[in-house]
Amino acid sequence: MRAALPSGTLEIEPRTEELPRVDPKLTRAFCRRGRREDKGYLPRWRRDATDFGPARRPRFPAGCHNPRMSNADTGGDDTRIGLAELAQMKRDSRPIVMVTAYDHPSARLADEAGVDIVFTGDSAANNVLGYADTTPIGMDEMVMLSAAARRGTHRAFFMADLPLGAFQVSDEDAVRNALRLVKEAGAEAVKIEGAGPMVSRARAIVGAGIPLMGHIGLTPQSVTMLGGYKAQGRTAAKARQLFADALALQAAGCFAIVLEAVPDRVAMRITEALRIPTIGIGAGAQCDGQVLVWHDLLGINEGFAPKFVKRFAGVAEETRRGLKSFAAEVRARTYPADEHTYHMTDAEYALFEAEIAPGVLVADDWL
């Protein structure tokens, strides 16, 4: 589960207060720009940020890894999915599969399963660190968890989240902390939540050469402002704001945008309008890709789950079964069995017995 959710379901009444209206001049400007893009026109600054050219999967010479990022587990496919391939997947209508992972073995399993994007989200806060929601997690924790997950990926595109407090204050903070995730954790891209003033952060991060994914709709870092874990964009005015936010993040240079807990038709119209991929979580089937939280999709989290969560495995149940069997066998002395046990020859054992016979071993020998 993404966070300790309030009782009830995600289907809570939409809020009644209006968000600020989108400036109609801005909307018209986006529409004009959209038409020019249909004819292949892109201003140079936007081309640089998000036009990655034909899909290429960069090949690295075998064994050519950043030693700080690598470990003994670097064998196998050294061809990574890159930004160009993700952009091409949208053009080809090939769904992008993204999953969160917060440690090395999980990331390795996701990579081996052929997931396209492995992502250390700030949902690590509630899924692995035991916080009630995502707000307390800090940069040091994110760097440590992301670096571990990054070492488990060899083929998947790897990204990490900027947590609350790491980018809201200033563009400088945003760039500094995004660079930490790139340099210290090996992230190939980062993600921030929000639009409005965060569009300037997006521009700054992309301007520093760091690929950025946006995230709008239900943004758990601002859960209090949103009035709880509720679906977003359920009125025409709020849907229009989401639409404008998505366009603004694209214009700022984001290479993709997460749409969380958004009505399917709103997500579909945003997906159609954007040149960059949308990744849905509770945003319907028409997004260019889907993301789920590791602990939700594998059934490690039990109990209440938001409407959009589907459990594809029952890992908690299987884990409990394994732990109960271990405890039962230890208590019955049936584990460890002979095949789990190291042996020594009778001759060596006889010598050992002689060495520890009373009067042979003196206290000094071990003090």
The total of other beta-carbon atoms located within 10 Å of residue 113's CB is: 10
Helix (H, G, I), strand (E, B) or coil at 5: coil
Q: Which of 49, 97, 246, 293 binds ligand KIV (CB under 6 A)?
A: 293
Compose the 7-26 pattern: x for residues touching ligand KIV by CB under 6 A, - for all others.
--------------------
- Please count the helices (runs of H) and the strands (runs of E) in the chain: 14, 8
Q: Which of residues 201-220 bind ligand KIV (CB under 6 A)?
A: 215
Inter-CA distances, 323 with 45, 103, 297, 316, 317, Å: 56, 21, 21, 11, 10
* Identified catalytic residue from 172, 260, 317, 329: 260
Q: Which of 50, 88, 99, 100 binds ligand KIV (CB under 6 A)?
A: 100
190 contributes a contact to ligand KIV by CB under 6 A: no
The dihedral of CA 188, 215, 178, 144: what is its sign?
negative
Beta strands in 19-154 (DSSP E): 96-100, 117-120
Q: Which of residues 256-275 bind ligand KIV (CB under 6 A)?
A: 258
Q: Which of 82, 121, 289, 306 binds ligand KIV (CB under 6 A)?
A: 121
Shortest gap between Cβ of 5 and ligand KIV (angstroms)? Answer: 14
194 contributes a contact to ligand KIV by CB under 6 A: no
Q: Which of residues 159-188 bind ligand KIV (CB under 6 A)?
A: 161
- Distance between CA 143 and CA 121 in Å, rounded? 11
Q: Which of 117, 281, 287, 305 binds ligand KIV (CB under 6 A)?
A: 281
Q: Does 260 participate in catalysis according to the annotation?
A: yes
When the beta carbons of 122 and 245 are compared against ligand KIV, the nearer one is: 122
What string of H, E and C letters represents the secondary structure of 298-358?
A: CCCCCCCCCCCCCCCCCHHHHHHHHHHHHHHHHHHCCCCCHHHCCCCCHHHHHHHHHHCCC
> Burial, 365: exposed, middle or buried (Cβ in 10 Å; 0-12, 13-18, 19+)?
exposed
Which single residue brings its beta carbon nearest to ligand KIV? 121
When the beta carbons of 243 and 294 are compared against ligand KIV, the nearer one is: 294
221 contributes a contact to ligand KIV by CB under 6 A: no
Q: Which residues are catalytic?
A: 260
Residues that bind ligand KIV (CB under 6 A): 100, 121-123, 161, 215, 258, 281, 291, 293
